[in-house]
Amino acid sequence: MQPAKKESGAGKGSFRQAQAWLHTWCGLWFSWLLYAVFLTGTLAVFEEPITHWMTPEHHAHEQAEALQAGSERETASSMSQRLQWGMAYMQRQHPGADMWELWPADAKGGGDLRVYWFDGDGQYAAAQLDPASGNTVDASEVPRVRQTLGGHHFVDFHYQLHAGQLGLWIVGIAALAMLVALVSGVITHRRIFKDFFTFRARKGQRSWLDMHNAVAVLTLPFQFMIAYTGIAISCSTFMPAGIAAYFGTGAEAVKSFQVALNEPGKPQRSGQAMSVPDLESFVLRGQALIGQPVRAVVIDYPGDAAARIGIYGWNDADDLSKRLSPSSGMAMFSAATGELQQLRLPGGVDGGAASLTQSVIGGLHMATYGGLPLKWMYFICGLAGSAMMATGAILFMVKRRGKHQGEFGSSTSTVYRMIEAANVAAIVGLGIACVGFLWANRLLPVEISQRSRWELVVFFALWILALIHALLRSPPLAWRDQMAALAVLCLLLPLLNLVTTGDQLAAYLLDGDWEGAGVELFAVAVGVAAAGAWAWMRKTSGLKPARKQMARELSKGLPVAADASAAKQGSLS
């Protein structure tokens, strides 16, 4: 096969051709990682429902609580009683701690009573108290809950890849590459307005290009926003020079920056002893000032005369849906004089326009505003973004299946083969890993130690297996096998749940448990789509009797059903 003459390259051809070159290569090399970041980020929109589904023991507990809610409400302890119990516990157990934090009740004055403090190592520690008696809840009384990362796995993976700072940098660079690919893609797309509404189905390469253009162009504002805000959230990591110049580098410097940013005007210990005053009057004043029920009472330097008491509020869901900045109200008092030292209204920030911008950027990225409809909008746009990466990566190979372009010299065929395998493992393999993560949640024994780590092991192991499978099997068969596996795992998920926990989809629906039902319904929908894709690939490959015809078909053929002979040609040449 003669390599086609290259028409563009870095700095070759017209401006538009150079942009096309940039879009192709920048897009290709980052597409797999970006697809993974996008798909898991999209699932992260529904972090709470996924966590809910993954903690069925809690779920039974929540239901029992909801049933008892009416009767309990009357006998529930008052706010003042809860505060006293919290204080009594802290004075008894952690008199020397630098900070006490009481979460007395939920927004309605009921629910759990929790306390937090900084232990001797400066680590955040927590305990739960019985809201009916004030006694510590004994760990053995708490229902045995399976240890899991829940939906947080998807949050963590999509911005850190479970690799801490290193992962954050990798994802940040990929997001930057995405912005480059978006801009160069818009420049490359000659007919952006003429083809605005165009999708021509069943036309091979043309269909893939139409699909790639449609999902990208029509959700372009979202794609720009999500990539840009994703980078900007972590700007202090990516652009550390400003902070380094003022505060220096190293752990201490970071700490003093955090204090200056989050706790301006924090006093020093005075060394004079003073017991913490009664909290209720502070709570009542704080609630009146911020107009929100109390969520947390934070006491800095308890037992010292310089102590201060911060009252933080619960955001009201309806109010939160109407503002871009998600911060809650806060009132800070001096414990000694009762003087108001600092006041932040809901949605406001300390630190002026830059801090407010940062807060809004965070809110925009994490969909804290707008309520449930907005979460669905982010979910759909996120899926469109994932489809943009997937169709782009597939299109790269569809274009080259019929026409060898010789970009990699004598190893072009090998590299094409690798790219095909990466496409299969990144696109379908990741789906298998995600649903496999849910399977692991139900199948791993509840008592196993480091259980949540094992769930992650299953996630990554399945993904690696998918890559190995894709490298060993010819591309069309790899697509089909993995699509079938995805379909089976998704479609059987409700059955697995029924067998392992006794919970079932119909019961979720009858109980109005939309979180539990939503997870399973979405899994079933993905399963049906995957089964449809599998059947389509099978049919398309069956339609190609002769080899010669195959070659012709290839150029219009479908991604997935790229035929076996192409793969053979690839591996032989």
- Contact indicator for 396, 28 with CB cutoff of 8 Å: yes
Residue 357 as a binder of another protein (CB under 8 A): the answer is: no
Cα distance between residue 321 and residue 230, in whole Å: 20
Cα distance between residue 172 and residue 228, in whole Å: 10
Nearer to another protein by C-beta: 194 or 548? Answer: 194
Characterise 342 by phi-psi region: left (phi > 0), alpha (psi -120 to 50), beta (else). Answer: beta
Nearer to another protein by C-beta: 201 or 245? Answer: 201
- Contact indicator for 463, 433 with CB cutoff of 8 Å: yes
Q: Which of 197, 219, 224, 199 is nearest to 209 (CA)?
A: 199
Paired strand residues for 9: 12
Cα distance between residue 79 and residue 92, in whole Å: 20
Angle at 132 between CA 130 and CA 134, to 5 degrees: 50
Residue 471 as a binder of another protein (CB under 8 A): the answer is: no
Local structure of 558: helix, strand or coil: coil
Q: Cβ atoms within 10 A of the Cβ of 262, count?
A: 11
* Per-residue mark of binding to another protein, 53-82 (x: CB under 8 A): ------------------------------
- Contact indicator for 297, 309 with CB cutoff of 8 Å: yes
Q: Which of 40, 33, 366 is nearest to 226 (CA)?
A: 366
Minimum distance, C-beta of residue 361 to another protein, in the bound complex (Å): 12
Candidates 200, 255, 453, 552; binder of another protein (CB under 8 A) is: 200
Per the structure block, which two tokens stand in for 209? 């290009």
Which one of 58-66, 176-184, 213-221, 287-295 is the stretch in contact with another protein (CB under 8 A)?
213-221
- Contact indicator for 64, 167 with CB cutoff of 8 Å: no
Nearer to another protein by C-beta: 48 or 62? Answer: 48
Cβ-based neighbours of 10, under 8 Å, separated by 6 or more: 18, 21, 22
Residue 558 as a binder of another protein (CB under 8 A): the answer is: no
Cα distance between residue 87 and residue 309, in whole Å: 13
Nearer to another protein by C-beta: 118 or 376? Answer: 376
Nearer to another protein by C-beta: 242 or 371? Answer: 371
Nearer to another protein by C-beta: 196 or 246? Answer: 196
# residues near another protein by CB under 8 A: 29
Which one of 86-94, 145-153, 218-226, 419-427 is the stretch in contact with another protein (CB under 8 A)?
218-226
* Per-residue mark of binding to another protein, 135-174 (x: CB under 8 A): ----------------------------------------
Nearer to another protein by C-beta: 324 or 521? Answer: 324
* Per-residue mark of binding to another protein, 169-198 (x: CB under 8 A): -------------------------x-xxx
Candidates 372, 468, 472, 506; binder of another protein (CB under 8 A) is: 372
| CA 153 vs CA 149, 187, 255, 432: distances in Å | 5, 36, 27, 15
Near another protein in 284-343, by CB under 8 A: 321-324
Minimum distance, C-beta of residue 371 to another protein, in the bound complex (Å): 5
Interface ranges with another protein (CB under 8 A):
194, 196-201, 214-215, 218-222, 321-324, 364, 369-374, 377, 380-381, 384
